[in-house]
Amino acid sequence: MRVITGQARGMKLKTLEGEDVRPTTDMVKEAIYSIIQFSVPGANVLDLFAGSGQLGIEALSRGASGCTFIDKNKAAADTVKENLLHCKLNDSARIDNTDSINFLKLTPAKYDIALLDPPYRQGLLDKALPLLGRVMNDGGVVVCEHEKEYAPAEEYGELKLRKRYRYGKIMLSVYDVGGSEEE
């Protein structure tokens, strides 16, 4: 697992061990950043269910102004911290070792991009997506990675489905916030 482009290009990232770990492939990560590339520079990013932090680290490497990494797993939060230090991107990052759903309910922060890659088959997208509208800036974008057998709703309040993309067994659902018609 590595950073694809930007100031930390080529840097190898640590990942967590275990059966539940499913790092985003380079192909899917490249697809995500192809979809949102013009939204990233200067953006405030939320990496929800961060795992190793690779999605948010890629955003920082590509010029995002900041990224908040959320994961309730202590080992995941520690891995994010190690990866940020290794890539020298820790100055513009915040790591919260907390439950993602509680974070969405309580945070006063606002984001331009939200990246969601939760553990599969636990209903976490169904819980998170309805809460995202309150933490997103108008014109923002939400990218959800999920298994192809699952299709989140086309609308969650301010979030409107832009498009779904399929990459083998992986699906990406991309939402615009507040009716933005970018791209």
Residue 64 lies in a domain: yes
Look at residue 11 and tell me whether its pLDDT is greater than 70: yes
What tens digit of pLDDT does each residue of 21-76 get?
Answer: 566 777 888 999 999 999 999 999 999 999 999 999 999 999 999 999 999 999 99
Residue 15 lies in a domain: no
Question: Are the C-beta atoms of residues 58 and 51 closer than 8 Å to each other?
Answer: no
In a domain, 3, yes or no: no
Looking at the domain assignment, is residue 10 inside a domain? no
Q: Kindly state whether residue 20 falls inside one of the protein's structural domains.
A: no
- The single residue listed with the structure tokens 């820790």 is 90
> Is 95 contained in some domain?
yes
Q: Is residue 25 a part of any domain in this protein?
A: no
Residue 172 is assigned to a structural domain of this protein: yes
pLDDT(83) > 50: yes
Domain that holds residue 107: 35-177
CATH code: domain of residue 97: 3.40.50.150
User: Cβ-count burial of 35 within 10 angstroms (0-12 exposed, 13-18 middle, 19+ buried)?
Assistant: middle
Q: Cα separation of 123 and 29, whole Å? A: 22
- For the record, the structure tokens of 181 come out as 């018609």
If one counts the domains in the chain, the total is 1
pLDDT at 26: 76
